[in-house]
């Protein structure tokens, strides 16, 4: 027994030492692969006119994955794209913080097998998350929600998490006189986080989630992904989930959805739907980008198209590339249906949150008026949230 006990102690000791040594290397590997800033600050590309206009805006963005990296968002970080100080510096009033809970080891646009090893298990383990989150997707989502709410509680009122339209209006009123205030909204990137349990949607709602992506990079129990193996439509369970979401005023996000899933949701939706981070096939013909027909159908619900900043969305990396896709959607259905959906902290991007002024400048070069730029850079998102979130 003494030998067994000593062997166990030795094993635990070796594991702890290996964990401490390997943690920074593991996190650095994934940061370099998925979370780099390709062109670091300071950003002096925008004109003085663009800088002045940008200061007057309420900038909003529909997608970032900052919560999966385990950074202290109250501090300005040297890695990644988003934290609260950089949001303030970039004049971002409102940032949607999306939580992916499962990313298969090998993602393929030709069909991703969902049964592969989940790389986010490593983020949970090496990030020091609670043991309950290591292999349970619901617990992982609830933990990430708690993290964002904890940041708000520790921010001395500088950052808040928005749950309803009343809180949104109160926040925007305060921000008129204090541009150093910023806010977040919680979103899920793939409702496999429900683990097939419809009641878990209530847990997500109570934790603060308000925007719900049905799928991510693989098919799940809700329906098909654009990168899935089957790419099917809405399942019976998925129908129940969407119905309950709309009853609770949770916003349906069709990012990453298959064509069949988008079509099925649009048949049954009674509320506006959004695509938080995407590109458009008319500019960048990639599998996960959306077609003209889909853009028109989403606009008819009163929804929004969030244009991503990643190469796969706009076939480029500059603010000018982003503005071209925004112009395309505006010309097709009207500028009131297009917004920003950066994918900060989810891909290697050309600039971080402090560089948002570049998009303002690029929109000026696309000949949008100052009023139109205000809507694209945030006004459209505020309008949709005000009408779609729970009232209080």
DSSP run (H or E) holding 20:
helix 2-34
At residue 41, the pLDDT reads 75
- At 59-92, the pLDDT tens digits run 999 999 999 998 999 999 988 999 999 999 999 9
Identify the burial level of 291 via C-beta atoms within 10 angstroms of its C-beta, where 0-12 means exposed, 13-18 middle and 19 or more buried. middle
Q: Give the pLDDT confidence of 112-133 residue by residue, as tens digits.
A: 999 999 999 998 998 899 999 9
Q: Which two tokens stand for residue 334?
A: 């009207």
How high is the pLDDT of residue 37?
Answer: 78
Per DSSP, what are the bridge partners of residue 189? 100, 213
Confidence of residue 38 (pLDDT cuts 50, 70, 90): confident
Is residue 117 within 8 A of residue 105, CB to CB? The reply is: yes
CA R_g for the chain: 21
Secondary structure (3-state) at 49: helix
What residue spans of 115-235 are helical by DSSP H?
Answer: 120-126, 137-153, 165-175, 200-207
- Residue 31 clears pLDDT 60, i.e. is over it: no
**Residue pLDDT, tens place only, 198-208:** 999 999 999 99
Coil, strand or helix: which one is 130? Answer: coil
Whole-angstrom distance, CA of residue 253 vs CA of residue 246: 12
How many CB atoms neighbour CB 171 within 10 A? 17
How do strand 251-253 and strand 209-213 relate by DSSP bridges? parallel
Torsion angle, alpha carbons of 54, 59, 65, 68, to 10: 90
Tokens at 390, concatenated: 């729970």
Per-residue confidence (pLDDT) for residue 6, from 0 to 100: 47
For residue range 302-330, list pLDDT tens digits in order.
999 999 999 999 999 999 999 999 999 99
Assign domain 35-388 to its CATH architecture: Alpha-Beta Barrel (3.20)
Residue 30 has pLDDT above 60, yes or no: no
Q: What letters, b where the CB count within 10 A reaches 16 and e where it falls short, cover 49-74?
A: ebeebbeebbbbbbbbbbbbbebebb
Model pTM score: 0.91
Q: Residue 128 class from Cβ within 10 Å (0-12 exposed, 13-18 middle, 19+ buried)?
A: exposed
Token pair recorded at residue 247: 């009853």
Phi-psi label, residue 162: left if phi above 0, alpha if psi -120 to 50, beta otherwise: beta
- Count of C-beta atoms within a 10 Å radius of residue 83: 23
């Amino acid at each position: 027994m003494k030998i067994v006990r000593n062997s166990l102690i030795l094993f635990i000791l070796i594991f702890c030492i290996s964990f401490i040594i390997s943690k920074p290397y593991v996190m650095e590997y994934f940061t370099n692969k998925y979370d780099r800033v390709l062109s670091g600050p300071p950003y002096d590309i925008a004109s003085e006119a663009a800088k002045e206009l940008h200061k007057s805006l309420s900038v909003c963005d529909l997608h970032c994955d900052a919560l999966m990296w385990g950074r202290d968002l109250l501090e300005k970080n040297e890695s990644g794209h988003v934290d609260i100080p950089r949001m303030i510096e970039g004049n971002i009033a409102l940032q949607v913080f999306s939580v992916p809970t499962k990313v298969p080891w090998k993602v393929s646009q030709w069909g991703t097998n969902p049964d592969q090893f989940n790389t986010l298990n490593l983020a949970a383990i090496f990030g020091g998350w609670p043991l309950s989150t290591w292999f349970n997707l619901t617990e992982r989502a609830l933990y990430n929600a708690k993290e964002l709410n904890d940041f708000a509680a520790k921010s001395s009122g500088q950052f808040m998490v928005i749950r309803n339209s009343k809180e949104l209006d109160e926040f925007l009123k305060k921000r008129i006189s204090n541009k150093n205030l910023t806010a977040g909204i919680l979103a899920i990137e793939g409702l496999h986080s429900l683990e097939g349990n419809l009641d878990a949607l209530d847990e997500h709602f109570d934790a603060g989630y308000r925007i719900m992506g049905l799928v991510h990079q693989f098919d799940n129990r809700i329906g098909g992904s654009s990168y899935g193996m089957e790419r099917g439509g809405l399942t019976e369970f998925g129908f129940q989930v969407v119905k309950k979401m709309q009853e609770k005023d949770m916003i349906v996000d069709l990012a990453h959805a298959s064509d069949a899933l988008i079509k099925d949701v649009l048949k049954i939706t009674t509320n506006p739907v959004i695509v938080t981070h995407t590109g458009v096939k008319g500019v960048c013909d990639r599998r996960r980008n959306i077609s003209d027909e889909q853009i028109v159908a989403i606009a008819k619900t009163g929804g929004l198209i969030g244009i991503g900043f990643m190469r796969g969305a706009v076939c480029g990396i500059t603010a000018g590339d982003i503005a071209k896709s925004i112009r395309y959607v505006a010309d097709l259905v009207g500028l009131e249906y297009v917004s920003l959906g950066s994918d900060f902290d989810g891909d290697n991007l050309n600039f971080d949150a402090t560089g948002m002024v570049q998009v303002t400048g690029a929109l000026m070069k696309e000949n949008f008026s100052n009023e139109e730029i205000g809507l694209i850079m945030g006004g459209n998102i505020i309008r949709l949230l005000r009408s779609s979130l729970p009232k209080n």
